[in-house]
């Protein structure tokens, strides 16, 4: 539930809101009887709460990131306490609210709290608190990193500021962020630490250095040929932590920052030991996968890592450079793969609140959410804005929960109405980014605008049918037909890129007698024009293999999946990737690193192929219908999704043997045949 009543918030009266401001500690002492202390704590910024010196939760980056123009969030905690005096301390950093990611110089972080004591007493954000910004955390910034002086303690306590705000305040409805794994180095070479895995998180450092020594810790995804850190692709993100030593055996882990890295450089310490804390939204994972092609097995693992690394509270584009924002296009591209991997419906439903909040005055969805001012002005962009329709529909497909459609339906209708008004006036939806980062195979932006106009009309009409809104279903289906007629008149006989052909097939944009012609042309483009390589960008890649396999060219789909030369999914794997790269050619032996202006080595978009690997190759659909499509060089493939497992093996005769295990309480269907709980085995010849 949200409340928009006027609330009291605490702030540090000496804070200037500068981008690299000190972290503030708020403190209050109180008397309590024995029993359960209940706390609600929210922030414009990020907080870390301690009771009598001990952290009260293992959640990190609380309360999370949301559209601060429209709402704030709080977390609820319960803690048993003995009778007597207690001290509550809350560290408050700028997080996503201020600092370089927000691009603001005048945002002072603020803290909201309600405390219910066991004996019935209560307190909140009032003048009885005190605060200090003269402690060890000199600053903690998402992009720049953190500066910590371990020789300092919190001193110079002063009265707090209290400000009244009328801002809707909601209980956090997502999944908490936690440290989900700790990795040890695979090697340490001088000052360079290699964890063997590109990850999102931060270091845990035990070290010794003389009193007052500044130890500098830098982060990178890759190394230069000379063994030094490659940091050019971080752009404006410093991604550097510094810590001043006490002269003894010190321990350091940052508080309110994170980094995307595989490698650390530690300078200034006499000796050190480092671990990497892997930090992301603490999902329940759904999927396991392996097959006889070790590169393909590794690809699936890289996709898993790429998703977890880019799911720190919101679905981000990358965890390392001066970006790390919730790009809507990237999210809609990957949302199906994300649901195969993890139980992420709550995660997406919370994020969709901010997608809706960031709509423009016409109801067009944004390119990033939560909203940031520097990304404004591009609402309605084809393939990005459509996330406001595609993501709710996908969550519904995987969960069967109509409430996600109910939450988003009004916004979906208004979005489509605004798009339709543009189209009726002779303007197709703008496609600002085109088929982003395609392999020299551009798709006309007018085509993309028309294709995604039709796609969103189609999915919203389906939502109307599910929700029983017959009037709007008929309107949407009529508009969809009109837009398809426009497409067929203007585009269906002039398709040249792989993305254009794949979207035309997948979005059902073609006359029936054109489908096979276009599918055959796509097959020839892959085989002949591109020498068995893909050339799709962000918008076409999720649909390419589906478009081939659904139209008689499964062999080509398999050949593309197992291709190892650039551009391909397995080229990065062959060259040591542990996550999915942003570009097909983020690095090549011939040219080295790609354009540093846009070159992440941890970017989930092209990992959308996992939807085909699980949904087609393994044949597991979200509703537990099974239709595996063996192929390629594979001798076997096995996958388990939510307890439903499928394994197929190639037999010497050329046919396949299938092993299916259905979990208790479930029913599956294998190519139309009903399968009760238990183990099942089939042999199907050529």
pLDDT grade for 3, boundaries at 50, 70 and 90? low
Looking at residue 351, its pLDDT comes to 98
CATH of the domain at 640: 2.60.420.10
Q: How far is 29 from 316, CA to CA, in rounded Å?
A: 39
CATH of the domain at 200: 2.60.120.260
Q: How far is 620 from 267, CA to CA, in rounded Å?
A: 49
- Per-residue pLDDT of 137-190, as tens digits, reads 999 999 999 999 999 999 899 999 999 999 999 999 999 999 999 999 999 999
73 is catalytic: no
Instruction: Retrieve residue 533's tokens.
Output: 């390589």
Claim to verify: residue 326 and residue 264 sit in the same structural domain: no
Inform me whether the pLDDT recorded for 105 exceeds 90. no
What is the mean pLDDT of the segment spanning 95-105?
91
Looking at residue 53, its pLDDT comes to 94
Claim to verify: residue 510 and residue 549 sit in the same structural domain: yes
582 is catalytic: yes
Claim to verify: residue 319 and residue 395 sit in the same structural domain: yes
Claim to verify: residue 512 and residue 635 sit in the same structural domain: no
Claim to verify: residue 491 and residue 573 sit in the same structural domain: yes
- What is the reported pTM? 0.97
Inform me whether the pLDDT recorded for 6 exceeds 80. yes
Inform me whether the pLDDT recorded for 376 exceeds 90. no
Claim to verify: residue 214 and residue 234 sit in the same structural domain: yes
Q: How far is 82 from 104, CA to CA, in rounded Å?
A: 43
Claim to verify: residue 608 and residue 508 sit in the same structural domain: yes
> Contact 675/662 with Cβ under 8 angstroms?
yes
* 73 contacts: CB under 8 Å, gap ≥ 6: 42, 63, 64, 66, 169, 170, 171, 172
Q: Which residue has the tokens 């017959």?
A: 470
Q: How far is 391 from 348, CA to CA, in rounded Å?
A: 8
Q: How far is 64 from 62, CA to CA, in rounded Å?
A: 5
Give the range among 18-22, 78-82, 246-250, 432-436 with minimum mean pLDDT: 18-22
Inform me whether the pLDDT recorded for 17 exceeds 90. no
- Per-residue pLDDT of 246-268, as tens digits, reads 999 999 999 999 999 999 999 99
Structural domain that includes position 255: 177-281
- Per-residue pLDDT of 488-525, as tens digits, reads 999 999 999 999 999 999 999 999 999 999 999 999 99
Q: For residue 546, report the phi and psi dihedrals to the nearest 5 degrees.
A: -60, -45
Enclosing H/E stretch for 259: strand 259-267
Q: How far is 376 from 140, CA to CA, in rounded Å?
A: 26
> Contact 411/463 with Cβ under 8 angstroms?
no
Inform me whether the pLDDT recorded for 435 exceeds 80. yes
Claim to verify: residue 264 and residue 308 sit in the same structural domain: no
Claim to verify: residue 310 and residue 429 sit in the same structural domain: yes
Least Cα distance to 177 among 273, 279, 246, 248 occurs for: 279
- Tell me the torsion sign for CA atoms 548, 550, 552, 558: positive
pLDDT grade for 563, boundaries at 50, 70 and 90? very high
Claim to verify: residue 208 and residue 80 sit in the same structural domain: no
Claim to verify: residue 636 and residue 601 sit in the same structural domain: no
Q: Which of 566, 598, 617 is the last residue of a domain?
A: 617
Helix axes 403-424, 445-467, angle to 10 degrees: 140
- Per-residue pLDDT of 641-665, as tens digits, reads 999 999 999 999 889 999 999 999 9
Claim to verify: residue 95 and residue 40 sit in the same structural domain: yes
Out of 323, 480, 562, 640, which one is annotated catalytic? Answer: 323
Q: Which residue has the tokens 């990304």?
A: 375
Q: How far does the chain reach from its first CA to its final CA, in angstroms?
A: 57
Q: How far is 387 from 380, CA to CA, in rounded Å?
A: 10
Inform me whether the pLDDT recorded for 2 exceeds 60. no
Q: Which of 244, 265, 281 is the last residue of a domain?
A: 281
CATH of the domain at 291: 1.50.10.10
Torsional class of 327: left (φ above 0), alpha (ψ -120 to 50), beta (otherwise):
beta
Looking at residue 106, its pLDDT comes to 82
| Beta strand spans in 447-579 (E) | none
What percent of the chain has pLDDT above 90? 96
Give the range among 104-118, 190-204, 533-547, 604-618 with minimum mean pLDDT: 104-118
* 154 contacts: CB under 8 Å, gap ≥ 6: 25, 27, 132, 134, 135, 136
> Contact 359/365 with Cβ under 8 angstroms?
yes
Out of 170, 203, 265, 582, which one is annotated catalytic? Answer: 582
Inform me whether the pLDDT recorded for 685 exceeds 90. no
Express the helix, strand and coil content of the chain in percent, nearest 5 each: 30, 30, 40
Count of domains for the chain: 4
Q: Which of 559, 594, 617 is the last residue of a domain?
A: 617
Cis amide leading into 63 (omega within 30): yes
């Amino acid at each position: 539930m949200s409340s928009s009543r006027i609330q009291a918030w605490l702030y540090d009266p000496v804070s200037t809101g500068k981008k690299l401001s000190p972290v503030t500690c708020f403190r209050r002492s109180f008397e309590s009887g024995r029993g359960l202390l209940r706390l609600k704590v929210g922030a414009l910024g990020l907080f870390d709460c301690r009771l009598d010196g001990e952290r009260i939760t293992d959640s990190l980056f609380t309360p999370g990131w949301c559209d601060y123009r429209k709402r704030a969030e709080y977390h609820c905690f319960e803690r048993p306490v003995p009778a007597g005096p207690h001290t509550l301390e809350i560290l408050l950093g700028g997080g996503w609210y201020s600092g370089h990611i927000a691009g603001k110089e005048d945002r002072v972080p603020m803290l909201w709290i309600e405390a219910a004591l066991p004996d019935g007493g209560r307190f909140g954000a009032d003048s009885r608190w005190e605060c200090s910004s003269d402690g060890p955390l000199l600053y903690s910034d998402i992009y720049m990193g953190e500066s910590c002086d371990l020789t300092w303690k919190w001193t110079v306590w002063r009265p707090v500021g209290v400000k009244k705000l009328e801002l809707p305040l909601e209980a956090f409805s997502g999944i908490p962020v936690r440290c989900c794994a700790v990795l040890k180095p695979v090697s340490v070479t001088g000052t360079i630490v290699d964890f063997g895995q590109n990850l999102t998180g931060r270091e845990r450092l035990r070290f010794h250095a003389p009193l007052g020594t500044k130890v500098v810790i830098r982060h990178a995804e890759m190394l230069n040929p000379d063994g030094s850190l490659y940091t050019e692709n971080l752009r404006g993100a410093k991604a550097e932590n510094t810590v001043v030593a006490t002269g003894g055996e010190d321990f350091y882990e940052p508080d309110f920052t994170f980094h995307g890295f595989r490698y650390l450089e530690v300078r200034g310490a006499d000796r050190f030991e480092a671990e990497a804390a892997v930090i992301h939204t603490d999902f329940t994972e759904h999927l396991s996968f392996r097959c006889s092609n070790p590169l393909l097995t590794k690809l699936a693992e890289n996709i898993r890592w790429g998703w977890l690394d880019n799911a720190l509270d919101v679905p981000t584009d990358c965890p390392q450079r001066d970006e790390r924002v919730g790009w809507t296009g990237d999210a809609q591209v990957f949302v199906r793969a994300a649901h195969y991997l993890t139980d992420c419906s709550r995660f997406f439903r919370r994020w969709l609140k901010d997608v809706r909040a960031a709509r423009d005055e016409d109801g067009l969805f944004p390119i990033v959410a939560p909203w940031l001012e520097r990304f404004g002005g591009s609402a309605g962009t084809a393939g990005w804005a459509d996330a406001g329709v595609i993501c709710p529909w996908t969550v519904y497909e995987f969960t069967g929960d109509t409430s996600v459609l109910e939450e988003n339906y009004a916004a979906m209708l208004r979005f489509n109405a605004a798009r339709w008004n543009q189209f009726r006036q002779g303007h197709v939806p703008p496609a600002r980014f085109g088929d982003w980062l395609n392999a020299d195979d551009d798709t006309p932006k007018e085509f993309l605008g028309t294709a995604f106009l039709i796609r969103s009309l189609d999915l919203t009409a389906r939502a109307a049918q599910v929700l029983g809104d017959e009037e709007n279903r008929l309107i949407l289906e009529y508009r969809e037909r009109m837009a398809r007629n426009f497409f067929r008149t203007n585009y269906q006989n002039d398709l040249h890129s792989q993305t254009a052909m794949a979207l035309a097939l997948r979005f059902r944009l073609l006359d029936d007698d054109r489908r096979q012609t276009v599918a055959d042309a796509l097959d020839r483009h892959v085989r002949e024009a591109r020498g068995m390589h893909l050339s799709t960008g962000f918008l076409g890649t999720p649909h390419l293999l589906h478009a081939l396999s659904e139209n008689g060219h499964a062999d080509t789909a398999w050949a593309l999946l197992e291709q190892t030369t650039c551009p391909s999914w397995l080229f990065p794997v062959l060259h040591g990737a542990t996550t999915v790269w942003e570009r097909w050619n983020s690095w090549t032996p011939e040219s080295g690193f790609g354009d540093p202006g846009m070159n992440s080595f941890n970017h989930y978009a092209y990992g959308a192929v996992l939807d085909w690997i699980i949904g087609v190759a393994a044949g597991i659909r979200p509703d537990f219908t099974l239709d595996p499509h063996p192929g390629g060089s594979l001798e076997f493939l096995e996958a388990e999704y939510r307890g439903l497992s499928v394994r197929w093996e190639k037999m010497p005769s050329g046919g396949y043997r299938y092993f299916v295990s259905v979990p208790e309480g479930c029913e599956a269907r294998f190519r139309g045949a009903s399968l009760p709980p238990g183990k099942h085995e089939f042999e199907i010849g050529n």
